[in-house]
Structure 1
Amino acid sequence: MDVVNILIRRLREMASDFIRLLPQLSIAIVVLVATYILAKFARRIAERLLAKTDLRGTLINLVETLVGVLIWVVGLLVTATIVFPGVTPANILAVLGLGSVAVGFAFKDIFENFLAGVLIMLRKQMRIGDVIACEDVEGRVEMISLRDTHLRHLSGELVVVPNAYLFKNPVTVMTQRPKRRHTVEVGVAYDVDLDAAKERITEAVKGCASVDADQPAEIFAKSFDDSAITFLVRWWAGSKPAEAHASRDEVVRAIKRTLDAAGIEIPYPYRTLTFKEPLAIARARTDAPADEAS
C-alpha cells in the first residue's frame, strides 16, 4: 500500500506541475506558430526583394534558407526560455557548444554536404540549367539544395548527387559559355594531295550554318594511320548538347559531300599481309585419268 500511495502522490505532483506549466506551454505554442508564420513570410519577402537584383537563383535560394533558419533558431531559443524559465539563451548556447562535438562526429557527412552546398551556391561558374560533368556523372543542373544537387541526365534520368562529391572533384561546366570548340577526325588516302584536301575540308566546315564564323576553323594533319592520313578538324559552335550533336552532324555530312565531289578518297581500312617464307603454290592437274574425269 505504501508503494501505491507513493505512486499516487507522484502522479498528483506531476499533474499539478503540468497544470502550472499550461500557461507557459500555451505561450510556447503561440511562439512556435508565430515563428513558422514569420519564417515563411520572411522567405517570401526575401525572394521578392532579391528577385529584383542581379543575384543568381542559387544565391537567392541560399539567402532564403539562411533567413528561415535564423528565424527558427531565435524562435526555438525563446520557446525554450518560456517553457523552462531557469534556462537562459546563454545556457542553451553553452550546451549546444558542448554537444556540437558529438553531433559533428555523428552527422559529419550531413554537415560536410551542407557546407559544400553553401560554397557551391556561391560559385559564379555553375548555375541552374548548366550542363556539367563530374567524374562519371553528367547532366543538366535542375536544383541545388543545401544537401545535394539534382542533375537530369540527357536521357531523362534524375541523379541526386551529394554536394560534397561535386565540391571535392573537378567539375566541367560545358555550357559556361554559349560557344565551345568541337572536334572530329577525317582520314584521306595516302596518294591524295594534302594541301588540296585541307582546302576542301576548310571550305566544307566554313559553309556550315552552325559553325561560328567569328572563330577560325582549324584543320591539322594529325598522324599516319594504317590506311589513311588523319586530319584533326576543330571548330566553334553552340555549347548545349543538342547544338553540339547537330553541328557535328552537319560538319561530317559537309566534309563527306565536299571530298566526294573533289574526288578525294576517304579510304576503307587496308590490310597488307607479309610472309617471311615463300609459299608453295600447287598447280591444278590438267592430265586427269579418264576414269577420274568421268
Structure 2
Amino acid sequence: MDGSEDAQVPAKVSDGKPEPAGKVEVQPVAKDDQIRQRIASILKTTSWFGEPKVTVQDGIVFLKGTTENDESKQWAGDLAKNTEGVVAIVNQIEVTPTTVWNFDPTFQVLDELTRSFLRLLPLIVVALVVIALSWIFARLTVSVLRRGLVRRSLSHLLREVMARAGGMLVMLVGVYLVLRIAGLTQLALTLVGGTGLIGLVLGIAFRDITENFLASVFLSLQQPFREGDLVEVANVTGYVQRLTSRTTVLMTLDGNQVQIPNSTVFKSTIRNFTSNPNRREDFMVGIGYDDSITFAQEVTLKVLAEHPAILNEPEPLVLVENLGPSTVNLRVYFWLDGGRHSWAKVKSSVIRHIKRAFQDSGISLPDEAREVTFPHGVPVRMIEREGAAEPAEPALVKPTAEPETVATKAEAGLQSEASEIKEQARSSWTTGENLLTPSSSADSS
C-alpha cells in the first residue's frame, strides 16, 4: 500500500464552516505527484471547491479553483501547508459568493423528499388500507348496535350515543394499528392514553354545551318525566313539551313557552304533578271566638264530603291552625284528582261552599281588624239636631244567597285545563328533536 492510503486527514467541519487542517502525512520521502494527488483528492471530497486544481513542483504547491468564502480558501492553504513534503504554498483559489438564484440546494432537498416518499410509499398504502377497513368496520358496528339497542327501552339519543361510541372505539383501534405499523409505538400509546386528556380539554372548552348534552343523556336514561307531564322545575311550573339535547321545553299554565337548560333541570328538584294525579290542597278560614270550633269543623267536613270533586281517600281534615287576634284559624285539607279537575277551581268552589255553610249555620267570619265582637248587637240612639233633617241614604240591598251549584259561571267548571294547554303546546313551534318520544324509524325497525 502506498503512502496516500496511510495518510490521515484531520479536517473537521463545525456548523458548515471548515476548521484548520492538521498535519497530513504522506511518506518519509514524498514525491510531488503523490502530494498533488493527495491534496486534490481531499479538496474534491469536501465539495467546498469548484473545479479544484493542484500543481506541485519541487515541493511548492499551487492551488487553483473557486470557493464560496474565505474560510474555505484558508482551510485549503492550511491543508497544503500541513502536508508532509510541502515547501511552500501558492494559494490562487478565488472566492466567488454563491448567487441568490442558485437552486441547487432546493433541488437537493426535493430529491431527498422524493426518495423518502418512495421509501414510505408501501407503508402509506398499508396505512390507507387499514384506515379504510377500520372505517367500514366502524360503520358496521354502529349499525349493529343501533339495531340491538332498539329492543331496549332507551331514548333515541342514548341509543345513538352508545352506537357511535362503539364505532369510535373501532376507529381508534385502526388508528393505533397504523401508528404501530409505522413504527410510532410511543405516539400510538400517547394517542390511546391521550384520548382522556383530549376529552378533558374539550370538556373545559365547551363546558356548558357538554354539560347540557350529558344532562340530556341522563334525563333520557332516568326519565323523571314524560311528554305532557305537569312538572315544576327551577320555580317554573308547566307541561313538558319536549326534551332536546340542550334544553327542556315547558308550556306554563299562563301559555308561555319556557326553555330550561338540561344541566339546570338535572341538578334541580323536579316536582312531577302527573306521576301521582292525586293532589292535596289547603286553605285557612277564621271563625269568631264565640263560635264552637267543633261545630265549625263538622260543618266544614260535611261540605267536603258532599263536594263531588273531593276524594274520600285520603280523608279530608279540618285542624285548628292558631289563635289569631280576633279569630280562631282553621286549616282545611282535602284531596282531589289533579288529572280530572283543576285545583284552583276546586279550591274556589270549596271556599265558596264553606262560606255559605257558615252563614247558614250562624258561624261568624270576623276579620282581623275587628278587635272586639258584639254578639248581641250594639244599642244605638239617634239624637235629632235643630233644623231640617237630611235625607237618609238609600239602604244597601242585601246580596242574594250564594248559589248552590258546584261550579259557578265564573269558575267555568271544575275540569282541568290541561288539554287546552297541551293543544297550545302542540300548535307552538320548537326546534330540536324530542328525546322523550322514540323516533319512528327506530320503532319501525
- Aligned: 1:69 with 2:167: no
Partner amino acid, structure 1, of 2:225: R
SS of equivalent residue, structure 2 residue 165: helix
**Match of 1:98?**
197
Deviations 1:272-292 (A, max 9, x none): 59xxxxxxxxxxx98xxxxxx
Residue in 1 that maps onto 2:48? none
Match for 1:210 among 305, 309, 316?
Answer: 309
Instruction: Report SS of the residue matched to 2:274.
Output: coil
TM superposition shift of 1:80: 6.0
**Higher normalized helix content (fraction of residues):** 1
1:52-92: CA deviation from partner (whole Å, max 9, x where unpaired): xxx4xxx4335323334325525754886899985898664
Distance 1:29 1:151 in 2: 45
**Can you list the C-alpha shifts for 1:200-241, whole angstroms capped at 9, x where unaligned?**
111111111111112111101212224422210001112459
Deviates more, 1:199-208 or 1:257-266: 257-266
Q: Tell me, in whole angstroms, the C-alpha distance in 2 between the residues paired with 1:230 and 1:111.
A: 52
Matched, 1:185 2:280: no
Report Cα offsets for 1:130-173 as digits up to 9, x if no partner: 32223433322333345432222222223222233233333333
CA contact (8 A) 1:152 1:158 kept: yes
Q: SS in structure 2 opposite 1:237?
A: strand
Distance 1:62 1:224, change over 3 A: same
Q: Report if aligned partners of 2:213, 2:245 keep a CA contact under 8 Å in 1.
A: yes
Name the counterpart of 1:173: 272
Deviations 1:249-286 (A, max 9, x none): 3322321232232232333443459xxxxxxxxxxx98
1:28/1:82 contact within 8 Å kept: no
Aligned partner of residue 176 in structure 1, secondary structure? coil
Q: Equivalent residue of 1:190, what SS? A: coil
Superposition pairs for residues 34-183 of structure 1, below 5 Å?
39=142, 43=146, 46-47=149-150, 49-50=151-152, 55=153, 59-74=154-169, 77=172, 86=182, 92-123=191-222, 126-129=224-227, 130-183=229-282
Q: Taking structure 1 as the reference length, what is the TM-score of the superposition? A: 0.67
1:231 aligns with 2:326: no
Code of the residue aligned with 1:128 in structure 2: it is R
In the alignment, structure 2 segments of 5+ residues that lack a partner are: 1-100, 373-384, 387-445
Against the structure 1 CA distance between its residues 41 and 99, is the aligned structure 2 distance closer, same or farther, given a 3 Å change threshold? closer
Q: Is the 8 A contact 1:182 1:248 kept in 2?
A: yes
Contact 1:104 1:111 in 2 (8 A): yes
Residue 265 of structure 1 aligns to a residue in which SS? coil
Distance verdict in 2 for CA 1:186–1:25, change over 3 Å: farther
Q: State how far apart, in whole Å, the 1-side matches of 2:174 and 2:190 are.
A: 14
| DSSP 3-state at the match of 1:263 | coil
Tell me the amino acid that sits aligned with residue 160 of structure 2. Answer: T
Structure 2 residue aligned with 1:248: 347
Residue 261 (structure 1) aligned with residue 363 (structure 2): no
Gaps of 5+ in 1: 274-284, 287-294
Alpha-carbon distance in 1 for matches of 2:314, 2:237: 27
Instruction: Return the letter of the residue paired with 2:202.
Output: V
Structure (1 or 2) with the larger CA radius of gyration:
2
Distance 1:154 1:141 in 2: 11
Distance 1:127 1:239 in 2: 16
Q: Which residue number in structure 2 is paired with residue 200 of structure 1? A: 299
Aligned-partner SS, 1:213? coil
Letter in 2 for 1:243: S
Q: Which amino acid aligns with 2:158?
A: V
TM-score (norm 2): 0.47
Paired letter, 2:226: I
State how far apart, in whole Å, the 2-side matches of 1:100 and 1:173 are.
35
CA RMSD of aligned residues (A): 4.4
User: Greater shift after overlay, 38-47 or 143-152?
Assistant: 38-47
Letter in 1 for 2:209: I
Query: Contact conserved, 1:128 with 1:144, CA < 8 A, in 2?
Result: no
Go from structure 1 to structure 2 and tell me whether the alpha carbon gap of 1:269 and 1:36 turns closer, same or farther (over 3 Å shift): farther
Structure 1 residues 16-70: Cα deviation after superposition (integer angstroms, max 9, x where no partner): 99xx999x989979987997798578647744x23xxxx4xxx433532333432
Q: Deviations over 1:84-112 (max 9, x none)?
A: 98589866433423323322322333333
Q: 1:60 corresponds to which letter in structure 2?
A: S
- Secondary structure at 1:270 match in 2: coil
Please name the residue that 2:399 is paired with. none
Equivalent residues of 1:46, 1:63 under 8 A apart? no
Matched length: 265
